[in-house]
Amino acid sequence: MSRIGKNPVKITKGVNVIVGADNVITVKGPKGELKQAIDPDIKVEVKDNTIEFVRPTEQIRHKAMHGLYRSLVNNMVLGVTEGYTKTLELVGVGYKAASQGNLLDLSLGYSHNIIVEIPKELTVSTTQEKGKNPKVILSSVDKQLLGQVAAKIRSLRKPEPYKGKGVKFEGEVLRRKAGKAAGK
């Protein structure tokens, strides 16, 4: 059996889980509501305060989906109770970030500022302390959408290996290169 798929998902207090007739799971909680379509082969059982996933056969496809859907639903339950945040750090001289509503204005060393429209499901804020790198803080209940938007922002100026300049995730360890060797 799948080690991840066989673990039941615990439903925390204040979370309501509904399995629709068309195999769509709806998770409602204090922070919001999320929906996920489940493959018809995987059976979903809601018992007491747990959700269990059962696969019909030992096929590779069924094994893969078993763990996948368990992880997706677990992320949904955690999202509607606690939420998720990702922090991006802008490393470089003159790099700035400003947010206004759901628009993010980034100055990343190009000839023009880059304006990114953030989906309405996410909230964005920026901080800029003296002597520290500017930070962009993204938060949402949807882990998948949050990671996708954060990766898109990071791709605008990926960290380079020599000086480390660019947009990186907070706490990300970059692989640095030595640069030119000293003279003989």
Task: Quickly count: other Cβ atoms within 10 Å of residue 130's Cβ.
Answer: 4
Q: Is the per-residue pLDDT at 183 higher than 60? A: no
pLDDT digits (tens, 9 = 90+) for 77-132: 999 999 999 999 999 999 999 999 999 999 999 999 999 999 999 999 999 999 99
Distance of CA 16 to the CA centre of its chain: 22
Q: What is the pLDDT of residue 184?
A: 54
Average pLDDT of span 149-164: 94
Q: What is the mean pLDDT of residues 37-59?
A: 91
Average model confidence (pLDDT) across the chain: 91
Question: What φ, ψ does residue 20 adopt, rounded to 5°?
Answer: -75, 170
Residue 14 φ/ψ region, left for φ over 0, alpha for ψ in the -120 to 50 degree band, beta for the rest? left
Window from 43-47, 87-91, 169-173, 180-184 with minimum mean pLDDT: 180-184
E strands, the chain, are 9-10, 16-19, 24-29, 32-37, 43-47, 50-54, 84-91, 96-100, 103-107, 114-117, 123-127, 135-140, 166-169
pLDDT of residue 98: 95
Dist. CA 25–CA 28, nearest whole Å: 10
Q: Hey, what domains does the chain have and what are their CATH numbers?
A: 9-81 (3.90.930.12), 84-169 (3.90.930.12)
Instruction: Give me the mean pLDDT over the 138-160 stretch.
Output: 95
- Across residues 13-18, what is the average pLDDT? 91
pTM: 0.88
